[in-house]
Chain A
Amino acid sequence: MMQAAPSTPGFRMIRTLGAIAMLSGLLVVLVFRWTEPIIAENQRIAIEKAVFQVVPGATRRVDVVLGADGIALATDAAGEGETVYAAFDEQGKLKGIALAAGAQGYQDVVKLLYGYDPACSCIRGIKILKMTETPGLGDKIAFDPGFLRNFEALSAVVNASGDGLTNPIEAVKHGHKQFAWEVDAISGATISSVAVANALNRSMQRMAPLIQRHRDALGEVVR
């Protein structure tokens, strides 16, 4: 837009914008420094709560990086792999491993945390961390008691060659569950149920063999 009024010299505009940007930068940094530890603590509590929920009986957790070449404590930040949460009870006995997984749902990715118990080779519980499924239909995957009963002992047995599961975790139509590795879908929320099963299957195919291979070492990390 052309201005009829005498124009402001360019350097004044730059000076004003620069000063405002500096002021705003300073303010953001101050607030960031102040809230950073509080946010980190909030996140720690949120993860802890979720881990203890999906691994029944657990009271302590150790973050472990689990990769093809073994395990490392997450604090050492050595080695490549996926961060998992090893959960222990009061006596230091390994109760299970909590892992994060995700798959495409009806509207967006469904992210969840689940607990795998290497002793029974089964999944012990899930918790939906993030989803945008339809309220009243798809969002039942988070709290429907019948659906959650699927994950009290969902079988995930490692196959003989040790590179996957004997039977892939699959969602079946509501009321058609026959085997311990099948997930009974919620009627009216099939896509969301399948997303949960897919997330678990994909994660378990890769991680269950690793967990079983390093099971003894995982039990030791608490010490």
Chain B
Amino acid sequence: MATLRHQQEKLGLDTFLRGLWEENPVFVMLLGMCPVLAVTNSTMNAIAMGLATTFVLVASSGLISLLRNLIPKQVRIASYIVIIATFVTVVDYAIQAISLDLYNALGAFIQLIVANCVILGRAEAYASKQRLHTTLVNSLGMGAGFTVALLALGTVREVLGNGTLLGFQVMPANFEPWVVMILPPGGFFVLGSWLLLFAYIRQRQDQRVLEKGGVSDAR
């Protein structure tokens, strides 16, 4: 066997929740920024991209976890890329079959899921060392965290930039859309605002723990 035995994580609620909050791929680990900024100009795009990425993440992590003892260390990255690319191609065809409009809106970013560092990062850091069931739960959590983050950007950008939510008018008729929000700079503005908010919440939490004279665990 090429790899050393790693500490096997025990399946718990935390296995799933970590991806949503503590290790959120977008807001905490700042991974996969390219699709986060590029395709979140509407809620629908954000949902579709999030679900597509989640599917690729769960399926490829699962397969990698199953094959983890068979893949020699020297060719592991190549193997991971082939596996990830396979599932991206599957998603690519599936989205074309579901809706051509959606496929055109997402453009090249579906194929670019191959290069999304969240997926390769999970494969290398988690799936290649852990058993199947914890891997599936963990990657599902990470995918959910990624989707929630895309939604957080997509909804704000669509409401401010277009006055609509999922295509329905939500702003009053005399609302002048902030076009910049749909353009690439808007992605940076909204992402920056969310990061600021989360940093602020975290700081408040840390402070509260300190004021209580609490124990060293700041989280």
A and B together in one complex? yes
Residues of chain A at the chain B interface (Cβ within 8 Å): 3, 5, 7-8, 12-13, 16-17, 20-21, 23-24, 27-28, 31-32, 35, 38-39, 42-43, 46, 130, 134-137
Whether the pair A13, B74 counts as a contact (CB closer than 8 A) is: yes
28 inter-chain pairs at a CB distance below 8 angstroms, sorted by A residue, are A8-B2, A8-B72, A8-B73, A16-B75, A16-B79, A17-B78, A17-B79, A20-B67, A20-B71, A20-B79, A21-B82, A23-B86, A24-B82, A24-B86, A27-B86, A27-B90, A32-B93, A35-B93, A35-B94, A38-B97, A39-B93, A42-B96, A42-B100, A135-B182, A135-B183, A136-B182, A136-B183, A137-B179
Number of A-B contacts (CB under 8 A): 70
| Inter-chain contacts of B74 with A (CB < 8 A) | 3, 7-8, 13
Q: Is B89's beta carbon under 8 Å from chain A?
A: yes
Apart from A27-B86, A31-B93, list 15 A-B contacts with CB within 8 A. A3-B74, A12-B72, A16-B70, A16-B71, A16-B79, A17-B79, A17-B82, A24-B86, A31-B94, A32-B93, A39-B93, A39-B100, A42-B96, A42-B97, A135-B183
Q: A136 is contacted by which of B2, B83, B89, B179 (Cβ under 8 Å)?
A: B179
Residues of chain B at the chain A interface (Cβ within 8 Å): 2, 41, 67, 70-75, 78-79, 82-83, 85-86, 89-90, 93-94, 96-97, 99-100, 104, 161, 177, 179, 182-183
Whether the pair B100, A46 counts as a contact (CB closer than 8 A) is: yes
